[in-house]
C-alpha cells in the first residue's frame, strides 16, 4: 500500500465519470421531479411529499447494509466494481418506469419505483465514493479526487439543466424538458459506469482484527468523530435540499423570474461548482478540511441573506449571489466526502477492519434523511401557509411571505449548525499522515491474503 502510486488525471476522470449521471439525477430528484409529479401528473403536494418520505424511511436503513456488504465483498473482479455494475441497470429500469408507467400513477406506484431507483443509486454512488477513498490515501490527494468527482457531478447537473432551458425555448413544455432530463440519465448511467470499472484499479485493504461482532459495529455510533460527521451531514445537506425543494416556487412566484430565467440561475448555481470544488480543495490544503468546510457554510448563509435585498426579477443582480452559494455547496460535498475517508482510516487503524463502505453508507443515509425531510417538511410548510403550487394560481401576500421565509430561514440555520459541528475537530493533515504511516506499515507486515 505504501508504494501505490496516486491516480493520474485520466484515472481520476475515469473514476469520477459516473458522477455525471449521479449529479444529474440528484438535481432532478430535488428540484424537478417533485414538481413534475405535482404539476404534470396531478398528484397532490401531500401525496408527493408522503411518497418521498416513505421511500426514504424504507431505503435509508438499507444503506448501512449495502455499505457493510461492500466492505465484506471479495472476488477476483474486485470489491466495489461488482456493486457499481449492479447499480447502473437498476437506475435505468426505475427511471424508465417513472416516465412510462404501465399503471395509473398513484402513491403506491410512486413509492415502489422510487424505492427501486434509490437502491440502484445507492449501490452505484457508494461503490464509487468508497472506491475513490481507498485509492486516494493521502490527506491532500483525497481532497483532490473528491474535487474531481464533484466537478464531474456539476457537469451532469449542468447538462440536465441545459436540456429544459433549451426545450422551453424550442416551444416544448416543462414536462417534456423533465422527461428529456431523465432520458439523459438513462443513457449516461451505463456508459460512465463501464468507463469507471474498465479503467480503475482496486486496492483492497487487508483486515487485521481476528474477531468482529455486532458489539463492534454498534460501538461505531459511540465514536465522537463518527457522530460529529453524521450530525454535520444531516444539517449541512438539509440546507441546500430545503432550498432546492422550494427553489422553483420561490424564484418564479416570489422573485418574479420566468421559469426559463429561474432555470438559468439554477444553472449558474450548479456551474459554480467548477470553481468551488477545486477552490475548496486548495483551501483545505492550507487551513485543513474542517476549517475549509466552515468557511463554505458561512459563505452559503451570507449568500442567502443577500437574496431578499436584490431587485425582483433582476438576473444580473442575482447572478453573483447564486455563484457564491453554488461554489459553497460544491465545497460542502468535497470536504464532507474527504473527511469521511479520513475518519474511515482512523477507524481502520483503531479496529483492524475496513469501514470505508459502511461509513460512506452512513453518511449517504444521513444525506437521504436530509433530502426526505426537506421535501416532506417544505411541502407541508407550503400547505400550512396556504401556498398554491398550481400553474397560474393566484397566491395571497401572506402565502408569498410564508414561502419567502421558509425558503431563506431553513437553509441559513441548518448549514450554520452543521458547520459548528466541527469545532474542536482534530483530525488534521498531521494526524492523518501519522495514521497513514501506521496503516501502511501494518499492511506491509500483514498483507491481504491472495
Q: Does 2 score more than 50 pLDDT?
A: no
Mean pLDDT of all residues belonging to the chain:
87
Q: Are 366 and 230 in contact (CB under 8 A)?
A: yes
The residues, any chain, with a CB within 8 Å of residue 142's CB and separated by 6 or more, are 133, 136, 338, 341, 342
Q: Are 160 and 184 in contact (CB under 8 A)?
A: yes
For the stretch 78-90, pLDDT in tens is: 889 999 999 999 9
Take residue 227 and report the three cell numbers written for it.
457522530
Average pLDDT of span 107-124: 90
Cα–Cα distance, 361 to 22 (Å, whole number): 16
pLDDT at 235: 97
Cα–Cα distance, 407 to 255 (Å, whole number): 12
List the domains of the chain with CATH numbers: 9-205+213-445 (1.20.1250.20)
pLDDT at 319: 96
Take residue 255 and report the three cell numbers written for it.
422573485
Cα–Cα distance, 366 to 360 (Å, whole number): 10
Burial of 40 (0-12, 13-18, 19+ CB in 10 A): middle
Q: Does 38 score more than 80 pLDDT?
A: no
pLDDT at 3: 40
Q: Does 310 score more than 60 pLDDT?
A: yes
Average pLDDT of span 330-340: 96
Counting residues of the chain whose pLDDT is more than 90, the rounded percentage is 49
Choice between 397 and 215, residue whose per-residue pLDDT is larger: 397
pTM for this predicted structure: 0.85
pLDDT at 167: 81
Report residue 212 CA to chain centroid gap: 31
Q: Does 11 score more than 50 pLDDT?
A: yes
pLDDT at 212: 56
pLDDT at 208: 61
For the stretch 400-411, pLDDT in tens is: 888 888 899 889
Cα–Cα distance, 356 to 364 (Å, whole number): 12
Average pLDDT of span 346-375: 88
Cα–Cα distance, 334 to 29 (Å, whole number): 20
Q: Are 320 and 262 in contact (CB under 8 A)?
A: no
pLDDT at 106: 76
SS3 labels along the chain: CCCCCCCCHHHHHHHHCCHHHHHHHHHHHHHHHHHHHHHCCCCCHHHHHHHHHHHHHHHCCHHHHHHHHHHHCCCCCCCHHHHHHHHHHHHHHHHHHHHCCCCCCCHHHHHHHHHHHHHHHHHHHHHHHHHHHHHCCCHHHHHHHHHHHHHHHHHHHHHHHHHHHHHHHCCCCHHHHHHHHHHHHHHHHHHHHHHHHHHCCCCCCCCCCCCCCHHHHHHHHHCHHHHHHHHHHHHHHHHHHHHHHHHHHHHHHHCCCCHHHHHHHHHHHHHCHHHHHHHHHHHHHHHCHHHHHHHHHHHHHHHHHHHHHCCCCCHHHHHHHHHHHHHHHHHHHHHHHHHHHHHHHHHHHHHCCCCHHHHHHHHHHHHHHHHHHHHHHHHHHHHHHCCCCCCCCCCCHHHHHHHHHHHHHHHHHHHHHHHHCCCCCCCCHHHHHHHHHHHHHHHHHCCCCC
Helix 174-199 × helix 19-27 angle, to 10°: 150
Take residue 93 and report the three cell numbers written for it.
429500469
Cα–Cα distance, 372 to 111 (Å, whole number): 13
- Distance (Å) of CA 106 to CA 41, 47, 170, 344, 375: 9, 8, 31, 41, 18
Cα–Cα distance, 131 to 338 (Å, whole number): 12
Terminal Cα distance for the chain, rounded: 14
The residues, any chain, with a CB within 8 Å of residue 240's CB and separated by 6 or more, are 300, 329, 332, 411, 415
Take residue 33 and report the three cell numbers written for it.
421531479
Counting residues of the chain whose pLDDT is more than 70, the rounded percentage is 94
Scored b (16 or more CB within 10 A) or e, 306-342 reads ebeeeeeeeeeebbebbbbbbbbbbbbbbbbbbbbbb
Q: Does 4 score more than 60 pLDDT?
A: no
pLDDT at 211: 57
Take residue 357 and report the three cell numbers written for it.
463502505
pLDDT at 214: 64
Choice between 424 and 446, residue whose per-residue pLDDT is larger: 424
Choice between 444 and 182, residue whose per-residue pLDDT is larger: 182
Choice between 88 and 74, residue whose per-residue pLDDT is larger: 88
Average pLDDT of span 402-429: 93
- Please report which confidence band the pLDDT of residue 233 belongs to, taking 50, 70 and 90 as the band edges: very high
Average pLDDT of span 269-291: 94
- Other CB atoms within 10 A of residue 424 CB: 9
Q: Are 375 and 29 in contact (CB under 8 A)?
A: no
Amino acid at each position: 500500500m505504501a508504494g501505490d502510486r496516486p491516480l493520474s488525471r485520466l484515472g481520476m476522470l475515469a473514476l469520477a465519470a459516473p458522477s455525471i449521471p449521479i449529479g444529474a439525477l440528484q438535481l432532478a430528484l430535488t428540484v424537478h421531479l417533485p414538481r413534475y409529479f405535482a404539476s404534470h401528473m396531478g398528484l397532490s403536494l401531500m401525496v408527493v411529499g408522503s411518497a418521498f418520505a416513505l421511500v426514504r424511511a424504507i431505503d435509508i436503513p438499507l444503506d448501512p447494509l449495502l455499505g457493510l456488504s461492500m466492505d465484506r465483498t471479495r472476488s477476483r473482479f474486485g470489491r466495489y466494481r461488482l456493486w457499481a455494475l449492479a447499480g447502473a441497470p437498476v437506475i435505468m429500469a426505475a427511471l424508465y418506469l417513472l416516465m412510462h408507467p404501465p399503471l395509473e400513477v398513484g402513491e403506491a406506484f410512486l413509492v415502489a419505483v422510487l424505492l427501486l431507483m434509490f437502491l440502484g443509486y445507492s449501490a452505484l454512488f457508494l461503490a464509487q465514493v468508497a472506491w475513490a477513498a481507498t485509492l486516494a490515501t493521502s490527506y491532500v490527494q483525497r481532497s483532490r479526487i473528491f474535487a474531481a468527482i464533484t466537478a464531474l457531478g456539476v457537469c451532469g447537473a449542468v447538462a440536465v439543466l441545459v436540456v429544459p432551458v433549451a426545450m422551453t425555448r424550442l416551444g416544448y413544455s416543462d414536462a417534456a424538458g423533465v422527461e428529456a432530463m431523465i432520458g439523459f440519465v438513462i443513457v449516461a448511467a451505463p456508459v460512465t459506469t463501464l468507463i469507471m470499472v474498465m479503467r480503475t484499479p482496486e486496492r483492497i485493504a487487508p483486515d487485521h482484527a481476528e474477531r468482529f461482532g455486532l458489539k463492534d459495529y454498534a460501538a461505531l455510533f459511540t465514536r465522537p468523530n463518527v457522530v460529529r460527521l453524521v450530525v454535520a451531514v444531516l444539517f449541512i445537506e438539509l440546507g441546500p435540499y430545503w432550498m432546492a425543494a422550494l427553489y422553483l416556487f420561490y424564484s418564479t412566484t416570489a422573485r418574479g423570474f420566468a421559469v426559463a430565467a429561474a432555470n438559468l440561475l439554477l444553472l449558474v448555481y450548479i456551474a459554480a461548482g467548477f470553481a468551488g470544488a477545486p477552490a475548496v480543495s486548495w483551501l483545505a490544503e492550507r487551513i485543513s478540511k474542517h476549517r475549509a468546510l466552515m468557511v463554505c457554510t458561512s459563505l452559503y448563509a451570507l449568500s442567502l441573506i443577500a437574496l431578499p435585498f436584490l431587485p425582483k426579477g433582476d438576473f444580473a443582480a442575482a447572478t453573483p449571489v447564486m455563484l457564491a452559494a453554488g461554489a459553497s455547496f460544491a465545497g460542502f460535498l468535497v470536504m464532507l466526502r474527504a473527511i469521511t475517508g479520513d475518519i474511515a482510516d482512523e477507524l481502520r487503524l483503531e479496529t483492524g477492519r475496513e469501514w470505508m463502505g459502511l461509513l460512506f453508507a452512513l453518511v449517504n443515509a444521513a444525506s437521504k434523511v436530509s433530502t426526505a425531510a426537506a421535501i416532506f417538511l417544505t411541502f407541508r410548510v407550503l400547505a400550512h401557509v396556504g401556498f398554491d403550487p398550481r400553474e397560474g394560481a393566484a397566491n395571497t401576500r401572506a402565502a408569498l411571505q410564508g414561502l419567502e421565509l421558509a425558503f431563506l430561514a431553513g437553509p441559513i440555520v441548518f448549514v450554520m449548525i452543521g458547520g459548528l459541528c466541527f469545532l474542536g475537530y482534530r483530525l488534521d493533515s498531521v494526524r492523518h499522515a501519522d495514521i497513514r504511516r501506521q496503516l501502511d506499515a501494518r499492511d506491509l507486515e500483514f498483507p491481504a491474503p491472495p
